Amino acid sequence: MERHEELFVSIRKIIRAIDIRSRKLSKEAGVTGPQLIILQELARIKGVTAKEVSTQVNLSQATVTNILDRLESKHFIKRVRSESDRRRVALFLTDEGKEALLNAPQPIEESFVETFSALKDWEQFQLLSSVERIAEMMGASGIDAAPVLNLGDLDSHNQAQDNKND
Amino acid sequence: MERHEELFVSIRKIIRAIDIRSRKLSKEAGVTGPQLIILQELARIKGVTAKEVSTQVNLSQATVTNILDRLESKHFIKRVRSESDRRRVALFLTDEGKEALLNAPQPIEESFVETFSALKDWEQFQLLSSVERIAEMMGASGIDAAPVLNLGDLDSHNQAQDNKND
DNA sequence: GAATAATAATTAGTAGTCTAATCATTACAG
DNA sequence: CTGTAATGATTAGACTACTAATTATTATTC
Higher model confidence: residue A40 or residue A160?
A: A40
The 10s digit of each residue's pLDDT in B31-85 is 999 999 999 999 999 999 999 999 998 899 999 999 999 999 999 999 999 999 9
Q: What is A40-71 written as a DSSP string?
A: HHHHHSTTEEHHHHHHHHT--HHHHHHHHHHH
CB–CB contact A138 B3 (8 Å): no
The residues close to strand C, meaning Cβ under 7 A, are A 22, 26, 32-35, 58-63, 66-67, 70, 84-87; B 16, 19, 23, 49-52, 61-62, 65-66, 68-69, 79, 85, 87-89, 164
Backbone angles phi, psi at B46, to 5 degrees: -70, 135
Most confident among A48-52, A111-115, B144-148 (mean pLDDT): A48-52
Query: Could you give the strand order of the β-sheet that contains A89-93, starting from the edge strand earlier in sequence?
Result: A48-49, A89-93, A77-81
* Assigned fold of B3-142: Arc Repressor Mutant, subunit A (1.10.10)
Of the listed ranges A9-23, A32-46, A139-153, B17-31, the one predicted with least confidence: A139-153
Which helix (H) or strand (E) element contains residue B147? Answer: none
Helices (H) and strands (E) in chain B, counts: 7, 3
What pLDDT is attached to residue A107? Answer: 85
Question: Is pLDDT at B155 greater than 70 in this prediction?
Answer: no
Which overall architecture, per CATH, does domain A3-105 show?
Orthogonal Bundle (1.10)
Bridge pairing between strands B48-49 and B89-93: antiparallel
- Mean pLDDT, rounded, of chain A: 85
Q: Which of residues 29-88 of B touch A (CB under 8 A)?
A: 58
Alpha-carbon distance A133 to A27, whole Å? 35
User: Which CA distances in Å does B77 have to B36, B93, B98?
Assistant: 12, 4, 9
